[in-house]
């Protein structure tokens, strides 16, 4: 039982960073980005290229890939979403665009690397026991890296000017413009930070499972469920939501066939939308 809860905890930790990226992007850009799954995949493949083909250390590969991917997302935004924002499109148009972008990115990965599952060049380590819980080194790395990233994001959002500006744009875009916040700059920063978070998330997922084209999109529903559960736009909520989703879906395998685990996040979304639409930590959104 404790083992299952621990496994669920790790599953939850794995989706924390993507959920945080989704919630940041939603806060600043005001639409749910369906391309996030494919972005995770592509980022993992970039790290794979540096790690396996260029034989760099996984840690260094991740750093290089994260910076590259951050800039890559800024460029992608400029040639797709930025054009739609200028023409004043509604959020459905942006969502549909993100869906199309997701197809493109996932299949670029498929075109270059093929359908076969790949893995990073890390030597295998024997799982060890800690307080009667079986854990392996990848799970330890996942917990440590995600926690560090979360702490860093907390500091960034609370105490750094860029984070405060991001929260301001996310809270009230037009008011932040009036107060002289350069919102295009903030949007670029948000994409960059999301790119970094998604790269780390992609590496963690790739270590946990395998690197293959559908790896990111298979997590998409769980990531959205985590973000909605915590309240879309609330970073702390994304963290708590991820843990809850991870533990609940792992526990659910006791009663339902594991193939249908994806149904749990979906059920959570449906219940949340019916009973507490703003999520655990979100503010009720009152329409004018």
Partner 1 sequence: MLSFIVLMSLVICFSAILALALNFQWGLGGMINFGLAGLYALGAYACAIFILKLNMGFLSSTLLAMLIVSLVCALISIVTLRVSEEDYFAIVTLGVGEMLRLVVLNEDWLTGGALGLSGIPRPFSSIIPSDIYIYFFLAAYVFVLFFCIFLINILARSAFGRTMRAIREDDVVAATLGKNLLWARARIFAIGGLLIGLAGSMHAFYYQYIDPTQFSNIVVAYAIMAVIAGGKGSNFGVVIGSILIMLLLEGSRFLKEIIPGLGSDQLSAVRIIIIGVGLILVLIYKPNGFMKEYRLSVQ
What is the contact surface with partner 1 in residues (CB under 8 A)?
A: 26, 31-32, 34, 80, 83-84, 87, 89, 91-93, 95-97, 99-104, 107-108, 110-111, 114-115, 220-221, 224-225, 228, 232, 257, 259-260, 262-263, 265-266, 269-270, 273-274, 277, 285, 287-288
Nearer to partner 1, 100 or 127 (CB): 100
Give the residue with the Cβ less far from partner 1, 83 or 158: 83
Taking the complex as a whole, how short is the minimal distance between the CB of residue 114 and partner 1, in angstroms? 6
Nearer to partner 1, 159 or 288 (CB): 288
Minimum distance of partner 1 from residue 99's CB (angstroms): 7
Q: How far apart are CA 36 and CA 21, in angstroms?
A: 8
| Packed helices 220-230 and 235-252: angle between N→C axes, nearest 10 degrees | 120
Give CA separation, 147 vs 132, 150, 201, in Å: 22, 5, 12
- What minimum distance in Å lies between the beta carbon of 141 and partner 1? 29
State the nearest-atom distance from the C-beta of 245 to partner 1, in Å. 12
Question: Do the bridges between strand 128-130 and strand 133-135 make them parallel or antiparallel, or are there none, so unpaired?
Answer: antiparallel
Nearer to partner 1, 89 or 119 (CB): 89
Name the packing angle between helices 2-29 and 235-252 (round to 10°).
140
Residue with tokens 């840690």: 59
In the complex, minimum distance from the CB of residue 18 to partner 1, in angstroms, rounded to a whole number: 14
34 Cβ contact list (under 8 Å, min separation 6) = 95, 98, 99, 102, 220
- Measured from the CB atom, is 19 or 165 closer to partner 1? 19
**Strand-pair partners of 135:** 128
């Amino acid at each position: 039982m404790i083992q299952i809860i621990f496994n669920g905890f790790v599953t939850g930790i794995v989706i924390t960073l993507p959920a945080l990226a989704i919630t940041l992007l939603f806060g600043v850009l005001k639409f749910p980005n369906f391309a996030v799954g494919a972005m995770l995949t592509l980022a993992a493949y970039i790290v794979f290229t540096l790690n396996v083909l260029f034989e760099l250390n996984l840690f260094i590969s991740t750093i290089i890939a994260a910076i590259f991917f951050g800039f890559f997302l800024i460029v992608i935004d400029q040639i797709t979403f930025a054009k739609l924002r200028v023409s004043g499109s509604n959020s459905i148009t942006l969502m549909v665009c993100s869906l199309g972008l997701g197809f493109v990115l996932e299949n670029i990965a498929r075109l270059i690397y093929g359908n076969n599952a790949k893995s990073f060049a890390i030597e295998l380590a024997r799982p060890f026991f800690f307080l009667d819980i079986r854990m392996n080194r990848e799970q330890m790395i996942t917990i440590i890296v995600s926690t560090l990233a979360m702490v860093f994001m907390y500091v960034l959002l609370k105490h750094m000017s860029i984070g405060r500006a991001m929260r301001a744009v996310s809270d009230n875009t037009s008011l932040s413009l009036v107060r002289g916040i350069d919102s295009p700059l903030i949007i670029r920063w948000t994409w960059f930070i999301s790119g970094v978070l998604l790269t780390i998330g992609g590496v963690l997922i790739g270590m946990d499972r395998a690197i293959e084209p559908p790896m990111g999109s298979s997590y998409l529903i769980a990531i959205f469920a985590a973000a909605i559960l915590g309240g879309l736009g609330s970073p702390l909520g994304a963290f708590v939501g991820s843990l809850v989703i991870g533990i609940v879906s792992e526990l659910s395998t006791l009663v339902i066939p594991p193939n249908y685990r994806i149904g749990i996040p979906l059920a959570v979304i449906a219940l949340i939308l019916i009973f507490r639409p703003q999520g655990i930590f979100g503010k009720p959104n009152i329409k004018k």
